[in-house]
Amino acid sequence: MQSRLQVQGHPIQPMLVTFPLGLFASATIFDLADVAGGPAFLGEVGYWTGVAALVAAALTAIAGMVDLWDVPGDRTRRTAIAFNLVNAAMAGLFLLTCLIRAQAPQRGASAAILVTELVALAAGGVGVHLGARLMRQFDRRRRAEAGTFDALGGVTSSTAEVVRPRP
């Protein structure tokens, strides 16, 4: 996948997307424990974990928008747009739960909030599926491009490395 945002040749967004997903899942687990009768501080931890996930989701969305500029306008672009929209929907549902909880003095979870978070995680599962499809599409495209003679880039005197035997 060609990307403007890379670390050692690898695109950043697929790396970043794991952070909000993991944090959203952790927030849901904390809230499940709070609703199930665990200590009250678990609801507070779930709330702040959700807030951290929203920050990570915002950074991931920015990276996704930058990468979207480089995606060709075919089926791959439609998959990339769907991927970003599904992830934005998941983050939007968690934002809604965080805004509701911000007004409460204890910031604990309720059954309705937990259900909303589970729906958001289901949307995240769809996002994971779309992300995997997107990576397969980029991989197929990269292999097809590598199969052409032009993809080899040719060897010139400026790119060739001279190897000299050691004395």
Q: For the segment 29-49, what is each residue's pLDDT rounded down to a tens digit?
A: 999 999 999 998 999 999 999
* CA 53 – CA 59 distance, rounded (Å): 10
Whole domain around residue 91: which residue ranges?
Answer: 6-152
The verdict on residue 138 lying in a domain is: yes
The verdict on residue 84 lying in a domain is: yes
How does DSSP assign 93-149, residue by residue? HHHHHHHHHHTSSS----HHHHHHHHHHHHHHHHHHHHHHHHHHHHHHHHHHHHTSS
* CA 157 – CA 58 distance, rounded (Å): 45
Give the mean pLDDT of 121-131: 91
The verdict on residue 159 lying in a domain is: no
User: How confident is the model at residue 164, as a pLDDT?
Assistant: 56
Task: Count structural domains, the chain.
Answer: 1
The verdict on residue 11 lying in a domain is: yes
Q: Which two tokens stand for residue 62?
A: 């920015």
The verdict on residue 158 lying in a domain is: no
The verdict on residue 35 lying in a domain is: yes
Average pLDDT value for the chain: 82
The verdict on residue 161 lying in a domain is: no
* CA 140 – CA 134 distance, rounded (Å): 10
Q: Which helix (H) or strand (E) element contains residue 10?
A: strand 10-11
User: How confident is the model at residue 63, as a pLDDT?
Assistant: 86
